[in-house]
Homo-oligomer: A and B are copies of this chain.
C-alpha cells in the first residue's frame, strides 16, 4: 500500500491522518485534494462500523484504490447509548452542535453522578480492493457535565469530562485532547496494523 484516500473533507482530521500514514511511506490524500468529484455518501447504517464502511467501500469501488473512512459519536449510558450514530444531528437538521448539547443536558436533567457516564467512540474502516474491510475502534470514557464549559474542540466536547480529568474536553488544550481522544485510540490501533504490514 503506497497510496490511500482518506474519506473526509475535514482539513484538521485529514492532516492528522496524513502525518501518521507518512511515517510508513503511505501517501494519504483527502477528498479535499482529489480532482474527481466524489458524491456525498448517505450514512444509512445502524452502527458506526456500517456507516464508516458505507464511505470507505463506496469510494473504494469508485476509484479502485485503498480508502479509509471514520465514523464517531457519543454514547451516554443513561440514554441507552444515544445519541450514538445520530450524534451529529441529534436535535435534527441542520447539524447544530449547540442544539444537540441543549437536548442532551435536558434529557439528563434528572440524572445524577455516577449515572452520567458516557463514552466517545470512533470507528475507522479501511477498504482495500479485493480484501474484506478492516475496522479499528477506539473510545474515550468519561461523563456528561452538568453544564457546558470550554471553547476548544467541537460537537459535544463542552459537556464531556474524560475519565481522570476535571475539565471538559473543550477546556483541555488541543495537544492534550489529541492524546486521549477516541480517534487517537483508533489511530494507534490502525498504526499497529500498518506497522505489521510493512
- On whether the beta carbons of A191 and B164 are closer than 8 Å, the reply is no
Cα–Cα, bound, A195→B48 (Å): 34
Cα–Cα, bound, A56→B191 (Å): 35
Q: How many of A's residues come within 8 Å of B, CB to CB?
A: 18
**Which A residues are closer than 8 A to B by beta carbons?**
136-138, 164-165, 167, 172-173, 175-176, 179-180, 185, 188-189, 191-192, 195
A166, chain B: closest CB distance, angstroms = 9
20 A-B pairs with C-beta separation under 8 A: A136-B164, A137-B164, A138-B164, A164-B185, A164-B189, A165-B189, A165-B192, A167-B192, A172-B192, A173-B192, A173-B195, A175-B195, A176-B188, A176-B191, A176-B192, A176-B195, A179-B188, A179-B191, A180-B185, A180-B188
Task: Please indicate which of the listed interface residues A165, A176, A188, A189 has the most CB atoms of chain B within 10 Å of its own CB.
Answer: A188
Cα–Cα, bound, A185→B165 (Å): 11
Cα–Cα, bound, A138→B180 (Å): 11
Contacts of A138 in B (CB 8 A): 164
A89, chain B: closest CB distance, angstroms = 28
Cα–Cα, bound, A191→B165 (Å): 11
A171, chain B: closest CB distance, angstroms = 10
A146, chain B: closest CB distance, angstroms = 21
Cα–Cα, bound, A192→B191 (Å): 24
Closest chain B residue to A167, Cβ basis? B192
Contacts of A136 in B (CB 8 A): 164
